[in-house]
Structure 1
């Protein structure tokens, strides 16, 4: 099953904050997402702040994992970043940007993912790698409730 969606309203507030425009695809352990970078995301010189770039790549890697698990009928999984490394090659500017993520190696509890951020011409602006722990949604919700007291 191929999971493809055009998202007008982001599925959660975090993705809305990141400027998600649409999830182009999340299938076969790969994802492609479009984000709109605004001037409010920039620091001096109209360059998008690196935290947004990192967030876009991180989201694409997580959606690659979610897509693969959803294809298998597993909807009780949350990817939790254990380690995230981003290398910046060129400045990201306001406008439409594309984040792609893919699974390099996957196991039952840990995945290794890679991703990159592209401009609309296909130029690679940044690349990322991540070590990701797979946890059940129920465990995460229980831990959150316990932490909040």
Structure 2
């Protein structure tokens, strides 16, 4: 896994912590994020949904990278369901490839609190980008 492929400033901004696991087949990744107080609203109690969405989107990009390190991902569509509040703490996102096409990929990701509670679920359609040969 080439973590340098992911922009370090962006990863730091969204609270990326570490890659816990990746698998090339079928294409999956589990990554950790740490929410900081400045991510929260409601008197600092709830992480803003855009950051939760960024975590899920990022995890799906890691799943794509696990399957094909030469490919990049451009999200075409992204749906997120927020199932529980995300407090200012540590989370793990687990992403997987549902269907891999020549130029389009279908993905899913779940965000978990460390106690196992499901916080959010996402599905996405992405465009696979590859460098010109």
TM-score by length of 1: 0.80
Higher strand share: 2
Aligned positions, number = 128
Q: Per-residue displacement from partner, 1:78-101 (whole Å, max 9, x unpaired)?
A: 110000000000000111100110
Q: After TM superposition, what 4+ stretches of structure 1 lie above 6 angstroms from structure 2? A: none
Distance in 1 of aligned mates of 2:64 and 2:107: 8
Distance in 2 of aligned mates of 1:122 and 1:138: 42
SS at 2:85 equivalent: coil
- Equivalent in the alignment of 1:15: 11
Q: Which moved more, 1:102-111 or 1:23-32?
A: 23-32
- RMSD of aligned C-alpha atoms? 1.9
Structure-2 change in CA distance of 1:37 and 1:138 (3 Å): farther
In the TM superposition, what is the alpha-carbon distance from 1:11 to its structure 2 partner? 5.5
SS at 2:68 equivalent: helix
Structure 1: tracts of 5 or more residues without a match: 140-149
Q: Which has the larger radius of gyration?
A: 1
The structure showing larger relative contact order (alpha-carbon pairs under 8 Å, at least 6 residues apart) is: 2
Q: Per-residue displacement from partner, 1:34-56 (whole Å, max 9, x unpaired)?
A: 00001100011410000000000
TM-score by length of 2: 0.89
| Match among 67, 81, 88 for residue 94 of structure 1 | 88
- Equivalent in the alignment of 1:59: 58
Structure 2: tracts of 5 or more residues without a match: none
